[in-house]
Amino acid sequence: MVKKPPFVAGNWKMHLTMGEAKGLATAIVKVSADLAGAEIVLAPPFTALGEVKKVLEGSPVRLAAQNLFWEEKGAFTGEVSAPMLRDSGCQYVIIGHSERRQYFGETDDGVNRKIKAALKSGVFPIFCVGETLSERESGQTMDVISRQLQGGLDSIGAGVLKSIVIAYEPVWAIGTGKTATPDQAEEVHSRIREKLALKYGNGTAECAIILYGGSVKPTNSFALLSEKNIDGFLVGGASLEAESFVQIVREAIRAYKEKK
Ligand code: PGA
């Protein structure tokens, strides 16, 4: 297995005004020199991208958006395109988050178009997959994940996969306080890597960054990241406070150092 530095992204969802976002980003940047060895990404709401970009300038912390539309420009009221994100300083964009699938009707095909649009503009997708509780309870977890992976990565070649971060986020663990156990998460992560190996070959699959998301906290991040196939986190609630987010990054670095 190729060991990768931990990748920790904070998904701020629909939280924080510009001023609040600036304050949170500033607090994280202040300690970021201490957190060398991790790739840290912040995903504020669109309205705060500009403010947060200014704060991140000259720091190792990267900027992400939470969504995009696949067209480059045109009469699509309310939408934001990949070139616009690039122009706003985003290096990453979250695509296919379960909240977007659930509340805004995103389909695997739409996710695939968004991934391609992001890549075309040089913005790296953080591509989310995950099963609901009823899907897990009826034994369909891997069917769902396979379908989402297949659909999202349709006609995307091996050369491009290295620009895509995958996030496994069981829907039942998001914002619920119920974290998947390290074993549960590792089982799905290893299966995801197997699927990638089948499609892209072992070398490419081993290099893929696969994040876990769903109630990640300072207290569970060490055990999760100690798992072989867990390369980092997509953090929601706990990323809204500098202290807990930074602590998660520290725990991830500690686990990484001890990882074989
Ligand atoms: P949570 O959210 O950490 O609040 O569970 C994770 C996510 O939705 O990305």
167 ligand 1 Cβ < 6 A: no
E strand or H helix that includes residue 145? helix 141-152
- Pairing, β 209-213 against β 165-168: parallel
Dump pLDDT digits (tens) for 8-21.
Answer: 999 999 999 999 99
If you average pLDDT over residues 17-40, what whole number do you get? 96
The overall pTM is greater than 0.95: yes
If you average pLDDT over residues 22-28, what whole number do you get? 98
CA–CA dist 213, 185 (Å, integer): 9
Which ligand 1 atom sits nearest the alpha carbon of residue 216? 3
Task: State residue 260's pLDDT score.
Answer: 79
| Atom 9, ligand 1: residue with shortest CA distance | 236
What burial class does residue 99 get, using C-beta atoms within 10 Å of its C-beta: 0-12 exposed, 13-18 middle, 19+ buried?
buried
11 ligand 1 Cβ < 6 A: yes
Dump pLDDT digits (tens) for 101-146.
Answer: 999 999 999 999 999 999 999 999 999 999 999 999 999 999 999 9
Structure tokens at 235: 């953090």
Catalytic residue numbers, as ranges: 97, 169
Task: State residue 177's pLDDT score.
Answer: 82
Which ligand 1 atom sits nearest the alpha carbon of residue 176? 5
How crowded is residue 127: how many other Cβ atoms within 10 Å of its Cβ?
25
